[in-house]
Structure 1
Amino acid sequence: MVGALLALLALLPAPAWADPAAAPEASQASQFSVTSPSDGAFMGRTGIVVAGTGSEIGATVQVAVDGTPACTADVEADASDGPLWQCAAVLANGADRLITATESSTQGETSQSIRVHVLGSPTIHPSGVTTGLVSGTALPGSTVVVTLAGDPGGCTASASAAGGWSCVVTANQQRVPSGTYQVAARQAHAAIGPPHSYSDAVSRPLVIDTTPPQPPVIVSPAQDHRFITLPATFAGTGESGATVTVSLNRVPVCTTLVIDGRWSCSGGSALSAMPHEVRAIQVDAALNHSSPSAPLRVLFGPESASPTPRPAPAPPGAPSPAPSPSDATVDPSAPPEPSYPDPRDFGSAPPLAEGAGADAFTNWGTPTDFGAGIPSIQESIDRGNWSRAPFIALAAIALIALPSRLLASELRGRFRQRPAIPVRNRDPVPLIDEHTVGMSPWLSAALPFAVTVAFMVASNGVEAEVRYLRLAAAVAIALGVLNLVGVTIATRFGRLWQGIDGRLRFRPLLLVAAIFSGLLSRIVGLTPPFVTGTLIGVRMPFDTPVRGRAIVNLLQVGSVLVLGLIGWIGHSLVGEVVGFWPSLLSEIFAALCLVGVGSTLVLLLPVGALPGRVLWEWHSWAWAGIALVGYSLAFGILLGGADAHWPLAIVLIIAASIAALFIAAWAILRFLVSQPD
């Protein structure tokens, strides 16, 4: 029986696993598949390896991406995993990229497809020394995250439609200290992959320099040097590799590179014979800006020259003078000798170089020197303005305000109002409504408004350049804000608060003050200029209580002064500017500051229909205290900063002359001219 079973088993074929020679044949029967990447995977790079298993050794696999052939591979044997294949392909960024692998073998063609999301690394532009600015390219619309090695800081940027991105690395919202760092960037896109799927990072070294250079030093010319011809040459020292820009009256005239610690450049054309301020600023390789250099004063044009005097005409019948030997040798074809005005005059010297004023119609973004003397908050403290201002305020009260009040009191009643002319078929205007009739204050003040703008712009000097049109616009905006907010809204609130009636009226006396202050600043050369700009005031019925009238007028004066202080603070915060919009903003703040504090000085005068007179009639001692505070604040600003020119001796002489004139007029009217009946 056992023998029969053994004979039967001998007749059965041996199993495949027992025959070593059958192993390759079994391996060749494996399935074709794509094992990497997996279907729906997110790839943080554009270069990937597609791999899988083959059905037989020696078969050929072709990989296509979105229907375009990408790579080809052969199926090779592997000791542990059987027939394998792999090939490298480069994919474009995008979601649901279709990868199709097709195997060609002796058994035919077999294909398998998968979809993946691809987002490659952004690029970082190479840069030299920088203040922390990093830039590069990325997929449009993606979010780029930048980090520094060691986590000292970073930043985030969005790629533009053109693919560019940039940001400044910071640490806790502060600038990163100077040094060399390894910067890395990666990107994410909302339409590619699951949320918060970032690409692989790309990195490169980054040198950061956040230390501003020292101001350059102007070695030549010396203080009060006089240039006879232009362009003028400026030279000095600075930081090697930095760029130095020299400005005349805040207008850039030349730029040069600092080499071995020294620089030199030439510029300037068509300048007047008045003193001009020269300053220089330097920008290092990382674009850090230095503070301006110390101001240097220079002059232009001949020191003293006058036109050749014209001989007086000879009387009739007199013999003509014989020509002198020098006259006989003059070549008639030679050009006449030029004559120049005295440089001490305030006129403009003739152009000293060709191409003068070439940028007169293009310098919209060039700053003017309007408001150049306005001090910063710290500068006003360091210069001791606030310790001198109360004494100057007392002098202004004693020399201007009180003598003007004395003369106004004497003039009161000497000029009678013209009687109203009766008109047929027209009822007389009641006394209570008399103050509400007449032309609109805005219409009647339109022309005076334009005149005031012109005098304010000219108060600090003006040239035939388009940048002064921008200055005129800034002054007009400041005057509009002052009259609308400081006068209209303030008085409206005060009248509603006190329950009294009134109407805004144009005040000719304020226009006279604006013209006088503009001319005074221009003639004396005050920097910052003393200018005023309120042109309207409120007129109330004659039976309005004096207390209510005083409160309304006090609100007007206080609002005007507060607007001036706001302009002063805003001008201090803006600082040095270049460009149209920054310059316009700086000039608006400067004009608001100057017209606010200047108008305060005028409005507190106790004469005419000014608020100061109403406060005086309410309580003279209250007026004195309010005037002392207002005048002290105003003069604390008008005394200016390092660029200011307020010759107190000349100003006091003018004030004393006005006081003497007012007192003399009062004495004549008081003791020599009889009071009219």
Structure 2
Amino acid sequence: MPAGLFVGAAVLAVVLSLAVGAPTARADEPVASAPPATTATTDAAAENAATTATPAPTPSDDPARTTTPTITSPNPDELITTGSTSVRGSRDAANEIQVFPPNSTEPACIVPPSSSTAWGCASVPLVSGPQQSIRVIARNVISNATETASVTVSALTPPIITGPSPSNGMVSGNGAYPDATVTVTAGAAASCTVQANATGVWACFLTQSDGTGLPSDSYTVSASQTASFASSPSEKSATAQIVIDSTPPAAPVITSPRNGTHSVAAPRVTFSGTGEDGATVNIDSVTKKPPFSSSSICEATVKSGHWSCTGKGLPAGSYDVTALQIDAVGNPSRASAITLSFTAATTPPKSPTQPPSHAPGTHAPGSVAPPSQVAPAPDPSHTATPAPTPTPTPGVIPPNGGEFDGPNAEWLATTPYTSTSPPTIAPDAFPGWLRALLLAVVALLLLALPARLLAGALSRSRVRNGMRARSGIFGRNRSSAELPSVVGTSAAPRWLVGATVLVATAALVTLSSSASNQPAYLRLLAAVAMAVVVVNAVWALIGMLGAGHLGAGAASVVIAPRALFLVALTALLSRFTQLSPALLFGLVLGVAVSESATTIARGRLAATQLAGLSAIGLIAWMLTAMLPAVTNPVAGFAAEVTNAVAIISIGSAAVSLVPIGRLAGRAIFAWSRPVWLGLSLVIGTVFFALLVPVDALWRSGGGGLLLVGAGVGFAGVSLAAWLWMRYIEPAR
């Protein structure tokens, strides 16, 4: 018992000494934890514990204390060009660190307390933009107290490629800064640049250095961007594998209705056929007679190799109906075409008793007049007209002011090619030549140069929409110096194809004008055919002889059957605008040169051909002044051949100078623009002096203003299209 009392007294003494000697904690500090109790305590130990005061704790000593963290990386106002960044700094070892990306309420990472005061967050995601704040919060896990630090940076992250694949060359994506410039590369093979829209979405068409699309293959692409607030571009994006399909599908086949079908016009018409799976087939129609108009009928998607669509019916008339299919990646096919004719539905008679309408006193052909039906008395106004007195045949030029009679009268009828105004160099003709020169300048400014801009705009449109240039009369920019289009593998002999094309050209040229009777028309057709042969022979001969001398290499004559489209276009334009003499184009033969021929050689060859063709036209034009009067069919034929050579030569030279497609003017324009300008002014002046009634056009008032207005409208549309494709479309 005494021993128990003694032990209890000792314990009580130790407790009292600790209570008296311990320092008092401040209200704003946590109470320090008591040291672990020892198994034995003496008065000396108690006294020592009471007299040794504990200093105020440092952050590392006070587990409940929170200090403001520091950020050592990234630096303030640093530009970060990747999609994420590493954030590092120092802290109180007892604090937890939370790192928040810009404009985020969720931490990108949390660093728990540890024995180290250094901390780091390896990947904090960023979005593109200037002056963005990365926040760092230090939190004491015991007291839950927090302190915040931040650093402001700018970020330009790589854009994101989303596809598509397969593609016709189009690459699209998102993740760009609004209105930033995105550059996409497919290694060294191709690239494209486009401006992102306001939401960061972008798309562009990959092209090679020569402006052409990529051939079908698999390509590795990446993208980067630049923005106005960033001093350097972003890093390249993650690569994407894209399969390019640049092969156009075959032309669709129209199986119903069949080509040449004649039927009654109906409210609805159905077309069907075959095509490539997944492609979209568009059906359009064009009237075959003026006024020409086109319309879209219907479209369908090819499923299991077949398609069918129904559209609004066509009115009575004849139509060329075309079918064009665009595959799943946007490659267009060639068009297939059929000809259809529709007749108006017949209207039944109003009454079954209503007799058909016939001329007074007559009955229907093949029927017998009823006995009871008595013909009315003849009206004096409908009495038979006596045979007319012979009058001069319209268009015939009688000799010495007399009248032709006999079998040659019809063969001597004049045509628009029988006579033209011969050239004059007299001083009083100078104003006319000056006006012709001014018209040539106007045509240059309102037609030729705008056509070049429009061709460039259409080329950019095809590239951006993944469309290959369709084979047409102008075609793509090729190496040839004029309009060559090599005839494909055909079973027909080459001479037969050439003869057919020349005859078709002569027929189309003849249609540009009218003749008063059939014999005169046949004579004109023969004269135009001979002129077409002469013009094409001169063009081809100059090309063949000049190719070797001008460094264009070996040359060969080729046939350009697609040039018939341009022949028909100029002939119809002359016919419907009643130009006299007519504006004609008749070049259907060309010269193909070596693929290794330089731009200079091609341009010189084209200029030589145009100069030679114009010279032949001028010679023929001057010969017209020396021809005898047309007093017999032979003289009329000679006059028509000479005038046709002059009109077709100079008209073809003027049209060929337009610097687009495969026309000779394109080769000259690419070689030397001063030479092109000089030729355009000289040939254009002769063209207007010969083919256009300059005085009448100059004084026509409203008609002249209408033509100038049409030219200004064309120039405006061409310039607008070029500006749109050059500056506005890339920004969309």
- Structure 1 length-normalised TM: 0.43
The structure with the largest alpha-carbon Rg is 2
Task: Using structure 2 for the length normalisation, give the TM-score.
Answer: 0.41
